[in-house]
Amino acid sequence: MSQQSFKGPLEQIDESCWRIPTSYKSGMRVEGRIFVDEHLLDQVRQDQSPEQVANVAHLPGIQMASLAMPDIHWGYGFCIGGVCATDPAEGGVISPGGVGYDINCGVRLVRSNLHLDEIKPQIPALIDALFRRIPAGVGEGGPYLFGGKELQRLLGEGCRYLQSQGLATAGDIEHTEANGCLADARPDLVSPKALERGSDQCGTLGSGNHFLEVQVVDEIFDQEAARVMGLELGQICVMIHSGSRGLGYQVCDDALRDFRKVPARYGIQLPDRQLACAPVDSPEGQAYLGAMRAAANYAWANRQLLMWQTRECFAEFFGRSWESLQMGLVYDVAHNIAKIEKHTIDGVEKTVCVHRKGATRAFPAGHPEVPQQYRQIGQPVIIPGDMGRASWVLVGQGDSMKKSFGTTCHGAGRVMSRTAAIQDAKGRRIDQELAALGVVARARSRHGLAEEQPAAYKDVSQVVDVVHRANLARKVARLRPVGVVKG
């Protein structure tokens, strides 16, 4: 267990970035850079995640630096909060560990025209209705079943397939990262085991840190950007955090098994076998990318179906259509993914494979991949926090392109183990404590709320402060939870 603190060098570059020099470990091809500030630095040193940043710097073809965001914490091989871009033209590799088990885990935010002051007394009943409606928890399937050909289409086309089935609108597609579909997905390379795990799980929340929250816009920091996104003070929104469910876990698991002997085959020396990788352009690399893209498409479809059920539930509860409740999708972001993107590195434009593991794309204003509606303000970035404090909406800023391959943080990051959190909650009623904070919480499992209690997480606002100061993403609005549905 690598829970001991990091004793290696961390050199300050500026007020929001620290360096691990290449001299720290032989074999580092680039330096490590961690976006952090003095307040969070001690927490960063508490585990071996900086060591993992240094390990990732060994990967063939890595560009600029091995990066980590302020919500960095220990992960498998790669840290959570890690960003790594590799150039296939320089032997650059793709690593399943750089994406993680929950392929395209991500977050979406849905607005409404409801205001907290109008519906406050109804919140408990609304959360009960959502809790009954949204499939969540261990071993729970959902109402949407996709058979052989349907599942293949869903994996190939993502949210576009759901649009053809009347389960997504053109606006939903437009406001989803990559329009809810990565091209060149290879459903035929998704194993039968993964397909089986995915057949009844699309449109289900899962458990652990996944959630559906009813939130209120608590403070606005950028009036113009908030206006463009249709956000205003006191407004009710819904945030959904989930990923590719069992299908994605199995795709990653299959790839890690298939990759066991691949590094040796290509003469790649690694400091940790969990960094197992293959050249992007190799048959093994392309096979993983094809299956990963199919799993990513499944994840976008999953969040779309979770949102669809939420809209139906709101419509039934308030006796009005979801359109009249103006429940449009603000945006959907992926935070566990690898993508082929163009970036300018040392003045040269390159096509690179960007791994974001617990990190969110944050393209600035004017970038062609930002939807037209947001082109002037930058790509919306949704950052979930813990269920007692806050979540954030940011927009991508210019420096993200030169400092972090167009990337920012993804959340708060745990500070307390699950067993410690359960121990800490003994004799307490977390649901009542949350109620005292104005949050109605419902969870399926006995330990769900205890494990996910606010104290188990870093304060997400401190994390957001760092990326705001580093000019990777700018604060737009803070949202506060008023109701939580957990697995």
Partner 1 sequence: MFEMMEHTADVGIRVRANRWEDLFVDAAKGLFAVLLAKPEEIDPVQQVDLIIPGQEDDELLLDWLRELLYIFATRRLVFCEFEVRRTTEGIAARALGEPLDQHRHQPQIEVKAITYHGLKVERTEDGWLAEVIVDI
Site residues for partner 1 per CB under 8 A: 1-3, 47, 73-77, 80, 101-102, 137-139, 193, 196-197, 206-208, 246, 249-250, 252-253, 256-257, 260, 273-274, 414-420, 445-448, 451, 487
| CB closer to partner 1, 48 vs 397 | 48
Give CA 482 to chain center in angstroms.
22
For residue 469, the tally of other CB atoms under 10 A from its CB is: 15
| Nearest distance, CB of residue 4 and partner 1, angstroms | 12
| CB closer to partner 1, 450 vs 479 | 450
| 31 class by beta-carbon count within 10 Å (0-12 exposed, 13-18 middle, 19+ buried) | buried
Closest CA to 335 of 353, 352, 356: 356
| CB closer to partner 1, 18 vs 101 | 101
Residue with tokens 């952090």: 36
| Nearest distance, CB of residue 451 and partner 1, angstroms | 8
Helices vs strands, H then E, count in the chain:
17, 19
Closest CA to 53 of 42, 67, 71, 64: 67
Q: Are 483 and 213 in contact (CB under 8 A)?
A: yes
| Nearest distance, CB of residue 257 and partner 1, angstroms | 8
Determine the Cα–Cα distance for residues 197 and 194; give it in Å rounded to an integer. Answer: 5
| Nearest distance, CB of residue 204 and partner 1, angstroms | 10
| Nearest distance, CB of residue 228 and partner 1, angstroms | 35
Catalytic annotation present for 210: no
| CB closer to partner 1, 34 vs 251 | 251
| Nearest distance, CB of residue 418 and partner 1, angstroms | 6
Q: How many angstroms separate the Cα of 255 from the Cα of each of 97, 279, 305, 359, 397?
A: 9, 14, 27, 21, 34
| CB closer to partner 1, 77 vs 384 | 77
| CB closer to partner 1, 243 vs 328 | 243
Question: SS3 helix, strand, coil % of the chain, rounded to 5?
Answer: 35, 25, 40
Closest CA to 409 of 387, 388, 398, 393: 393
Catalytic residue among 73, 175, 335, 410: 410
| Nearest distance, CB of residue 262 and partner 1, angstroms | 14
Closest CA to 109 of 302, 224, 240: 240
Closest CA to 203 of 126, 127, 146, 254: 146
| CB closer to partner 1, 414 vs 442 | 414
Buried b (16+ CB within 10 A) or exposed e, 129-142: bbbebbbbeeebeb
DSSP symbols for 78-129? SPEEEEEEE-GGGT-EE-GGGT-SSTT-EEEEE--S-BHHHHGGGHHHHHHH
Residue with tokens 């050909």: 149
**Positions marked catalytic:** 410
